[in-house]
Copies of this chain bind each other. A is one copy, B any other.
């Protein structure tokens, strides 16, 4: 399918590359169509890869990934445009991390709201699905990097959109039973507020290739 990937950082590049490998047509979006990282990615990713503005990428995609930094996501999606996002599934991989006071980062929104809910409220005709924000970029598209059983989460108000995302995650290598449906988009609070623990686990185990398994 045609997929727009918003963001040119490690998460955007990793997901865009994996999607091309899976034979999707991918357009990477950034603030500036001449973005050097996006151009370099296109040059290396083959004929299914293209790049443009946030609006170009959102317009191109039948489905769109938000891989921008959380603190910049709402502005990036505003540039993508309500019309380009209307009726589409938006996979929100971002985390609302605030690095302005140094490490560890705090969250720009939490507790009684979440970034995904803010996005869903701003774009009510888009089907926002929170996913993959709880693992490192490389793990997102290659869960075998972390040994043993470990899980990812999906949240969203539209069940069909969630199913579409679950199918993509299976394509990334996540077994169906390792994908936990946490409920509506308000559950994004839970997975965004998990980030401080994830960052501590990185420190405790000395690797970003760390994840959690739900035992029950």
A interface residues with partner B (beta carbon < 8 Å): 101, 106-107, 110-112, 146-150, 180-183, 187, 189-191, 193-194, 196-197, 199-201, 203-205, 207, 209-216
Within 8 Å by CB of A212, from B112, B190, B191, B215, lies: B215
Apart from A201-B216, A210-B215, A210-B216, list 4 A-B contacts with CB within 8 A. A101-B112, A181-B204, A182-B200, A190-B196
Contacts of A211 in B (CB 8 A): 214-216
A197 contacts B203, C-beta separation under 8 Å: no
- Whether A210 touches B214, Cβ cut-off 8 Å, given contacts A190-B197, A193-B110, A197-B194, is yes
Contacts of A180 in B (CB 8 A): 201, 204
Within 8 Å by CB of A207, from B110, B111, B197, B216, lies: B216
Measured in the bound complex, the distance between the Cα atoms of B113 and A110 in whole Å is 13
Number of copies of this protein chain within its complex: 2
Q: Chain A binding site: helix, strand, loop or mixed by DSSP?
A: mixed
- Whether A215 touches B146, Cβ cut-off 8 Å, given contacts A110-B111, A111-B107, is yes
Contacts of A203 in B (CB 8 A): 182-183
Smallest Cβ-Cβ distance to A195: which chain B residue: B193
Nearest 6 interchain pairs by C-beta: A150-B215, A190-B197, A190-B196, A210-B216, A212-B212, A193-B193
B216 contacts A146, C-beta separation under 8 Å: yes
Contacts of A213 in B (CB 8 A): 148, 150, 212-213, 215
Smallest Cβ-Cβ distance to A112: which chain B residue: B106
Contacts of A197 in B (CB 8 A): 190-191, 193-194
Contacts of A205 in B (CB 8 A): 214, 216
Nearest-Cβ distance from residue A138 to partner chain B, whole angstroms: 14
Within 8 Å by CB of A148, from B101, B150, B215, lies: B215
Contacts of A201 in B (CB 8 A): 180, 182, 214, 216
Contacts of A101 in B (CB 8 A): 112
